[in-house]
Chains A and B, each alone.
Chain A
């Protein structure tokens, strides 16, 4: 443990405490920094390099990486049309992360709501919701997505819908399981005995307690969705040119492995680093949340003897 002088303040704010825990896990800190840089790139990057990403350059065709004579933007090399890979990575990041975020959000919102309904009510539709979740769950998601995308046609909206649907069962099941447990909790009985109606119990008492769990799952699922979207794009059923994501970039570079390996290499590495960072942070968050593990991140001082 690093000796980190704790401030004399008795109870530092929760955020500050989290920041302290983050500095105690070097790997998680690196992951957080990487994601932060990535987010900044996604937000402001396209303003500066957006044009470059589509700029054809005859002289830069298949330019190998780490050659600086054409400028820093070509540090990762260029593709077969001479477009700088770094610029394309930044623009691709916007699509990749945007699609994943939209899909996860839709999945959480719709799945969470359905799960609340399925857990609280014992009417016919709660069974229908569960059966549907089972159908989606019991079949390989990629196959399902492939079939649906091929028939509906690959577009950004369809991609988001398909990804959201394949991840939805997790939210439905978790929300339902939480509601089933919370419904039996004493404070719900207490509210009912006071005369609270279903709406009040569901939205005032149960939903606020389910939400943190759903958000946690959403954060973990984000990495999975990025991977799923990349696979679909790689198989050619993601968003279509001229738009592209990291997965599509790998697919484009696949034909040139023998001559220009970097075209397929860098976008894949970007996917790996992003999902890895997300997973590292999720694992760190689990440690913080687990009372049996949290002490590993604390600075433990023994009493003098």
Chain B
């Protein structure tokens, strides 16, 4: 894999505004980069950093509200892209520059077969007509690893899994062997194990065709795994660029350093407050089955979302439950909070079976166990201000706090989670994601709980914010003696926070152990697969076997 030194695409001083009422909003500010054939350039940045906009201009795809290219030149293989008319642009798109996106289900037309949508690439560029293209389309699908391509070419997008849909998108993008493939967060919506496969596929294809790859991501590990060179963007500006290894091992800009330090690095924090021996929660043989296919002719099937799960949680302890989507981890959380009823099993909380609680006893239990949800925005009523959100537990459980003390307690709680008293009058949409999660935590603390269940509580946040929230949770554990059940799909995140980890797969616990022991010597192959799926930096990977010829 030899990257040529002559750039195939060069972007110089690109500045893009988004027009809205009043002054334009600068999305991309004086951004320059180039990419050479066979090379992978990663554009790393958090949400809103302008990384997608800068590549969108290359393809001539700019979102509403109308974008406005203020200045800059985009030169592709000697052609100035900004001088091209629509027809000239169209001839390049799909043939010489191709793109894949984050959410393939939305980016594929739901009413056409994937075969037809791939064939459209050929038709659009005069490379052949529908029927005759079938063989080529099938070969493409086989190349990107779709099993039974011959039949599945006639399937519709919704009949594929998430990873397969991204493979279909890739097939569509490489159909005419483009010079550049732009991949905009291609693996963000996927499970880690699927993510690893897609990244491998992209690397293989690049090696075969020698195309340049521009990869946009917010994920440091993905960036490290893919990048030859990297540019880091923040608030529309390039803050750092260079060889990937240099940027990662020796970041110069303060933003990059902050970003890098946000990666969970392993060394567990010392805990001053020991775990007590008292068992707080004892879950035994918990199961949740769903009935599928209840049509008159369809056979009744059962789906075991949670299958005979048992574990204990001691007072003051933090247990991490790790698993990919569909592993049943969130179902456990919802049952423990009595949001869904279990099919069978018991859960003793402080000696009483949660699932048998009714009326007053159930209300008392609800005070002691609180939940922090994945999407803090969704978990708050958009019509209520922060004061009413935080004081809602007191409105429900009248005996916690007399009404005249509500205001002062709201202020205390806001300060406890690192927000300001004046935030009480604002509404959820006026906050950033991290701040919203702090509000959610403040609300959870309002009823003075003993156990907090965090369901993917940091997954929707930017990396640099993730660690701040986890640190807040750890800090509260020290100060208030809380216990946590921390549910996530992201193994590294729990490493420095959880005391013990349960790994779940298809509704069952496949491995359980002390955090460090589990990380150092995983016993179950699925745990090993999860750990290995965490991408390794490219410069540490063994050189791939050179292709014959």
- Give residues in A with beta carbon < 8 Å to B: 6, 17, 185-187, 189-197, 200, 204-205, 208-209, 291-292, 294-295, 298-303, 305
Contacts and interface: CB of A to CB of B under 8 A. Distances in A.
A22 to B, nearest CB: 14
Given A186-B375, A295-B65, A301-B23, A193 B380 contact: no
Contacts of B443: 190, 194
23 contacts: A17-B21, A186-B375, A186-B379, A189-B371, A190-B371, A190-B373, A190-B440, A193-B339, A194-B366, A194-B443, A195-B362, A195-B393, A195-B396, A298-B19, A299-B21, A299-B22, A300-B19, A300-B24, A301-B19, A301-B22, A302-B17, A302-B19, A302-B70
Contacts of A191: 381, 392
Contacts, number: 97
A302 B26 CA distance: 11
A190 B19 contact: no
What are the 9 closest A-B residue pairs judged by CB atoms, nearest first?
A195-B366, A300-B19, A186-B378, A186-B379, A295-B65, A298-B21, A193-B337, A190-B379, A187-B381
A210 to B, nearest CB: 11
A186 B373 contact: yes
Contacts of A291: 64
A6 B22 contact: yes
A200 B394 CA distance: 13
A205 B19 CA distance: 35
Contacts of A6: 21-22
B416 to A, nearest CB: 18
A242 to B, nearest CB: 47
A6 B21 CA distance: 9
Contacts of B380: 187, 190
B133 to A, nearest CB: 34
Interface string B1-43: 0000000000000010101111110100000000000000000
Interface in B319-342: 334, 337-339
B132 to A, nearest CB: 38
A205 B381 contact: yes
Given A209-B381, A302-B70, 13 more contacts: A186-B373, A187-B381, A189-B339, A189-B371, A189-B373, A190-B440, A191-B381, A193-B338, A208-B383, A298-B20, A300-B65, A303-B26, A305-B70
A303 B70 contact: yes
A209 B382 contact: yes
B438 interface: no
Contact of A194 (B375, B378, B382, B393): B393
Contacts of B447: 194
Most chain A beta-carbon neighbours within 10 Å: one of B367, B373, B381: B381
Most chain B beta-carbon neighbours within 10 Å: one of A17, A185, A186, A299: A186
B363 interface: yes
Contacts of B373: 186, 189-190
Contact of B379 (A189, A292, A299, A305): A189
B66 A300 contact: yes
Contacts of B21: 6, 17, 298-300
Size range of the chain B interface in the assembly: 35 or more
A195 B371 contact: no
A192 B65 CA distance: 38
B24 A196 contact: no
Contacts of B371: 189-190, 193
A194 B339 CA distance: 10
A200 B366 CA distance: 15
Interface string B352-380: 00000000001100110111011100111
Contacts of A194: 366, 370, 392-393, 396, 443, 447
Most chain B beta-carbon neighbours within 10 Å: one of A185, A194, A196, A204: A194
Contacts of A200: 395-396
Contacts of A305: 70-71
Given A187-B379, A195-B363, A208-B383, A301 B370 contact: no
Contacts of A193: 337-339, 366, 369-371
Contact of B64 (A190, A204, A209, A295): A295
Contacts of B370: 193-194
A295 B24 CA distance: 12
A187 B337 contact: no
Contacts of B369: 193
B68 interface: yes
Given A196-B396, A208-B383, A302 B22 contact: no
A275 B66 CA distance: 33
Contact of A300 (B20, B339, B379, B440): B20
A135 B366 CA distance: 43
B397 interface: yes
A200 B384 CA distance: 14
B245 to A, nearest CB: 37
B48 to A, nearest CB: 16
A190 B26 CA distance: 37
Contact of A187 (B19, B339, B378): B378
Nearest to B362: A195
A185 B383 CA distance: 14
A299 B71 CA distance: 21
B24 A301 contact: yes
A15 to B, nearest CB: 15
A121 B443 CA distance: 28
Interface in B470-527: none
B64 A292 contact: yes
A187 B396 CA distance: 15
A303 B17 contact: yes
B199 to A, nearest CB: 31
A292 B63 CA distance: 9
A193 to B, nearest CB: 4
A200 B393 CA distance: 12
B184 to A, nearest CB: 20
Contacts of B334: 189
A185 B327 CA distance: 21
Nearest to B392: A194
Nearest to A191: B392
Interface string B55-79: 0000000001110101100000000
A195 B443 CA distance: 13
A301 B363 CA distance: 56
A140 B380 CA distance: 42
Contacts of B374: 186
Interface in B244-260: none
Nearest to B336: A193
A195 B399 CA distance: 13
A298 B397 CA distance: 47
Contacts of B22: 6, 299, 301
Contacts of A301: 19, 22-24
